[in-house]
Amino acid sequence: MKFNYIQLSFLVSLIATAGSLYFGEVLKYPPCTLCWYQRICMYPLVVILGSALWNDESRFYRAALPLSAIGLLIAAYHNLLYYGIIPDSITPCSQGVSCTSKQVEIFGFLTIPLMSLISFILLTSLGFIAMKTTRRINEK
């Protein structure tokens, strides 16, 4: 059985998007500035990966990888701010909700910024693995 990177990537992006919408629309947690930027990177991935899944496009990473990599950088920065590694004074969240406000902590450690970081790590990793795998197949 061949491992399908498109299916797994689509599932990760779908769960991340659904979770984001659940926190924002159902639980009414307002997103901070960095959360908005991460959403801008995540939401199109559902469409890109869904269409790649529908068309069985093995080179989905060409469109998905740049968005997931940018989202990963933003999520990493957000986590550095959230956990106090970078001082609050350089945060872009000067208006509205603070990027360091604690809204959710599942199991005492799983926060919204951490969930986003994990999602983008998975998507970026899957994109790089799929790219390498596709190149190996094309070289044969």
Cα–Cα distance between 99 and 103 in angstroms, integer?
10
**Count of the separate structural domains present in the chain:** 1
Supply the pLDDT for residue 91: 65
The answer to whether residue 55 sits within a structural domain is: yes
For residue 140, is it within any domain?
Answer: no
Whether 121 maps to a domain, the answer reads: yes
Q: Are 58 and 134 in contact (CB under 8 A)?
A: yes
Distance CA 49, CA 44 (A): 8
- pLDDT (tens, 9 = 90+) of the chain, 140 residues, equals 345 888 999 999 999 999 999 999 999 988 888 999 999 999 999 999 999 888 867 677 888 999 999 999 999 999 999 888 887 776 666 666 777 777 777 787 888 999 999 999 999 999 998 888 877 766 66
Distance CA 16, CA 22 (A): 10
Domain assignment present for 77: yes
Structural domain span for residue 103: 5-135
- Name residue 60's amino acid: F
Residues 6+ apart with CB under 8 A from 35: 20, 78, 99, 112, 113, 116
The answer to whether residue 117 sits within a structural domain is yes
Contacts of 123 (CB under 8 A, 6+ apart): 9, 12, 13, 45, 64, 68, 71, 72
Tell me the CATH number at 29.
1.20.1550
